Structure 1
Amino acid sequence: MKFEKYIYRKKIKDLPEELLPREKAIKYGLSSLSDAELLALSLGQGTKELNVLGLADLILKNKTLKDLKNLKLEDLIKIKGIGKAKALQILSIGEILKRVEEDEEKLTFEKPFDVYKYLKWLSKEKQERMVVLYTNTMNQLLGEETVAIGSLNVLNIKPRDVFYPALRYNAYGIILVHNHPEGGSHPSKEDIEFTQNIKELAIKLGFELLDHIIIGKRDYYSFSSNSLV
């Protein structure tokens, strides 16, 4: 957006106080900050062309903070203004997240409601998101990926975006989750076609599509509970 480009190219000291992550955190608490604002607070400063808010927003484009643990050094240094030192600073945040997750007991999905409870925050999102959960043979969470954000047409999501991480996590099971911000949770014709396509590809590639959960404003829909996977 033009407004964001304008804000991101101004010096931090010239921005209104209500846009500054540090002041916002002091006044309202860290929980009030967005993912990009939290990252900006951790980075401290931006580049010659982008202030720290713009840099954080660029790094997190179509990503969440959890995705930092999957970034590579070569991906970051391709961004203009990010050298090895800044890239390592960002990667260290991802490594901390990864180690914390490894120390926690693995989350197990025994029923569709467990998935809904885990990703219930999607019901409050104003944009559509497709999140894919990857599990082992015991339905324990190995990892998750946000494969699409925005005006979501599931038929345009590339299957490789779903299956490539499954190989990386050495996963057995795949659970698709997406939200309907403006309506109920009942699947569309496109949702059903997309799910069947992914199911067929999963079988061919040696994975199992365990479920596709659609999260609406007030409820959810499980494809497995309705015998659609």
Structure 2
Amino acid sequence: MNFQKFIYKKKMKDLPEDLLPREKAIKYGIESLSDVELLALTIGQGTRDLNVLGLADKILKNKDLSDLKKLNLKDLLKIKGVGKAKALQIISIGEIVKRIESGDYLTMFESPEDVYMYIRWLSNEKQEKMIVLYTNTMNQLLGEEVIAVGSLNVLNVKPRDIFVHALRYNAYGLIIAHNHPEGSPNPSKEDIKFTGVVSDLSLKLGFELLDHIIIGRRGYFSFRSENLI
């Protein structure tokens, strides 16, 4: 019997803490868990012959978590030790994976107000920050990046720092956002010039600058709404 199989047949209470998914997640972070450990943490209990790690390993044999979306109730009930309750837990994970991958739960921006509601936390920042939101063709959020922090002169922000992430996310649209800690969201001449530069470069590089939102203490300014893009 190899070491792994030996571990899977032990009672969980008899295993060292570093092998227990819950304790490992608390100590090292949830990202430290393997696929087997994550599934074990979710289903909670094993069987008479296998602890929860062994059962999770059996379910994931030659698979990873993304493959759970391909399993159905009938498939899982064929596995010894998996009853209807556990099977439903597992196919629920698969359905969550499927819906996330389909984009059903991606944040969507349909208006400048949507963007403002997403980033209004910037109004409480004491330092200036510039972030960029990267979207697909349906205006769904693919990712966001902080481009600059501190005493922000937009003319000193390098456009390449914006576009390198656009390539990484394979984005279609860009939404720039930054805050004016002093209060007013109205754009400066530098803000307007910078926005024009980024808009022109976006077109040349195959992207679209969808908006530039400036957040003040109260309210926001949208370049798109003011027809400045």
TM-score, with structure 2 as normaliser: 0.57
Match of 1:92 among 11, 15, 31: 31
Number of aligned pairs?
141
Counterpart position of 1:143: 143
Q: What is the alpha-carbon distance in structure 2 between the residues aligned to residue 110 and residue 183 of structure 1? A: 26
Q: Deviations over 1:99-129 (max 9, x none)?
A: 99x5781000000000000001000000000
Q: Could you tell me which runs of 5 or more consecutive residues in structure 1 were left unpaired when the two chains were aligned.
A: 1-41, 45-88
Counterpart position of 1:130: 130
Q: Could you tell me which runs of 5 or more consecutive residues in structure 2 were left unpaired when the two chains were aligned.
A: 1-24, 39-95
**Counterpart amino acid of 1:190?**
E
**Counterpart amino acid of 1:187?**
P
Whichever of the two has the greater Rg, that structure is: 2
Give the match's secondary structure for 2:192: helix
**Counterpart amino acid of 1:111?**
S
- Evaluate the alpha carbon distance shift between residue 156 and residue 90 of structure 1 in structure 2; reply closer, same or farther with a 3 A threshold: farther
Counterpart position of 1:207: 207
How far residue 183 of structure 1 moved from its aligned partner, in angstroms, is 2.2
**Counterpart amino acid of 2:146?**
T
**Counterpart amino acid of 1:208?**
E
Matches within 5 A, 1:12-161: 92=31, 105-161=105-161
Q: Percent identity?
A: 61
Q: What is the alpha-carbon distance in structure 1 between the residues aligned to residue 200 and residue 26 of structure 2? A: 43
- Evaluate the alpha carbon distance shift between residue 157 and residue 181 of structure 1 in structure 2; reply closer, same or farther with a 3 A threshold: same
**Counterpart amino acid of 2:148?**
A
4+ residue stretches of structure 1 with deviation over 4 A? Answer: none
Q: What is the alpha-carbon distance in structure 2 between the residues aligned to residue 134 and residue 141 of structure 1? A: 6
Q: Deviations over 1:156-209 (max 9, x none)?
A: 001111000000000000000000011200000000000000000000000000
How far residue 91 of structure 1 moved from its aligned partner, in angstroms, is 10
